[in-house]
Amino acid sequence: MQPISIAIDGPSAAGKSTLSRMLAKHLGFLYVDTGAIYRTVGLFVKRNHIGPKDEPAISALLDQIQIHLQYDETDGLQHMYLGEEDVSEAIREHIISQYASDVSTLPVVRRFLLSMQRNLAASGNVVMDGRDIGTVVLPNANVKIFLTASAEERARRRFEELKAKGAETSFETVLQDIRQRDHQDQTRATAPLKQAEDAILIDSTHLSAEECLEIIVSIVKSVQARQAEQEIQNGALQE
């Protein structure tokens, strides 16, 4: 049996991570957060005092970067490691969001991370979220979802999250940041954020995470049923 892959793409703060984590848990699949991988490259670049768009300098340093993912045995959560250091918290810092968005515009970085992401998907059944999973990383994914929400709603959710963490920022700043990252993610030349032709669009502006989960689980079930039917037909044809 080929491993099953589910690609979840969409703009920043659309709820991809929450939903992908819930979905992976529900299905017993591995969850791969590819944004965290780009963030780890962003952190590495920042720590090396390199400009996040300085392609020649970043390219020269990429073979020194040691990134790996590890799954926590108790909660199953994905942890990111830079060398021996667990950087899962450090990559969530606000400044690293911008570094990640900047380094992700560089073809050399995207090429470098492509095989890593494909190898993770080949290792078993996965839910993988990002910006180009359905279009570039896993163009043959069994299920493709494009999850979005209005910029205002995404900013509201991110703002509430930041407030709960005690961060001091205004709603307007968060909204402006989201708009700027949307623009950069959608207009970059290499693997821009866009809906794959065969992806199903889910607008979560007025939906809870549970409602989105229900919709996606029913999509996954119907795709799996169709595939099982196809396999039976293929088997019958071969007999």
Question: Which parts of this chain interact with ligand DC (CB under 6 A)?
Answer: 12, 34-35, 38-39, 100-101, 104, 130-133, 181, 185
Strand residues in 143-239 grouped as ranges (E): 143-148, 200-203
Smallest gap from residue 61 Cβ to ligand DC (A): 18
CB of 89 or CB of 239, closer to ligand DC: 89
CB of 94 or CB of 221, closer to ligand DC: 94
CB of 156 or CB of 224, closer to ligand DC: 156
**Ordered strands of the 200-203 beta sheet:** 30-33, 126-130, 5-9, 143-148, 200-203
Report the alpha-carbon distance of residue 167 to residue 153 in Å, rounded. 19
Smallest gap from residue 62 Cβ to ligand DC (A): 16
Asked if residues 113 and 100 have their Cβ atoms less than 8 Å apart, the reply is: no
Smallest gap from residue 77 Cβ to ligand DC (A): 14
CB of 5 or CB of 101, closer to ligand DC: 101
Strand pairing report for 200-203 and 126-130: unpaired
Report the alpha-carbon distance of residue 135 to residue 147 in Å, rounded. 14
β partners of residue 4: none
Smallest gap from residue 132 Cβ to ligand DC (A): 5
CB of 27 or CB of 128, closer to ligand DC: 128
Smallest gap from residue 226 Cβ to ligand DC (A): 27
